[in-house]
Amino acid sequence: MTGPTEPDGRTMRERMLAGDLYLADDPELIADHVRAQELTDAYNATGVDERARRTEILRELLGSIGEDTAIRPPLRVDYGSQVRIGSGTFVNFGLVALDVVDITIGDDVQIGPNVQLLTPLHPLEAGARRAKWENAAPITIGDNAWLGGGVIVCPGVTIGANTVVGAGSVVTRDLPAGVLAVGNPARVVRELPE
């Protein structure tokens, strides 16, 4: 990876999407972030009877969203465009999806209230942090997974299909398919039946 003081000819957006060090206060990224905040504010202001309007906003905000997927407001994202959600997924109130890089949520996923999907990382070196450099790692949630209320998924984590993560768990590393994981950090406690 090119260091933060060595220009490599890429835009900050290109660096960000590649998971490399970038500066979030880049004017192009600020404009993208403002656009996302305007759309999430509009989405969060919709009423329960405005399903068509909600779908329209989500299609404009997110990278993609499948059929019969429901997201209850409020919703918060960094950019929205890196969030891809499959079909038949249900997201309860208060999802925070910091999508500096890709967040991929499969089909038929259940996400409880106040779940956080966090892709951003910050350098451990104090000078780089002071200079406001950051990077990110993608998150993937497999088909038919269930994240209980208050789950936090850290950068770079993949959660396998059919896996259940207990409420309040902090997922710091990959979880295989078809298991129950709980705790901080989340640990597999047992396999689940098909």
Q: Which residues belong to the active site? A: 122
Are 116 and 137 contacting, i.e. CB atoms less than 8 angstroms apart? Answer: no
Q: Which residues contact 140 (CB under 8 A, 6 or more apart)?
A: 102, 103, 104, 106, 157, 158, 159
Beta-carbon count within 10 A of 117 CB: 24
The rounded distance, in Å, linking the Cα atoms of 29 and 137 is 17
Name the DSSP class of 104: E
CA dihedral 186, 97, 129, 7 (to 10 degrees): 120
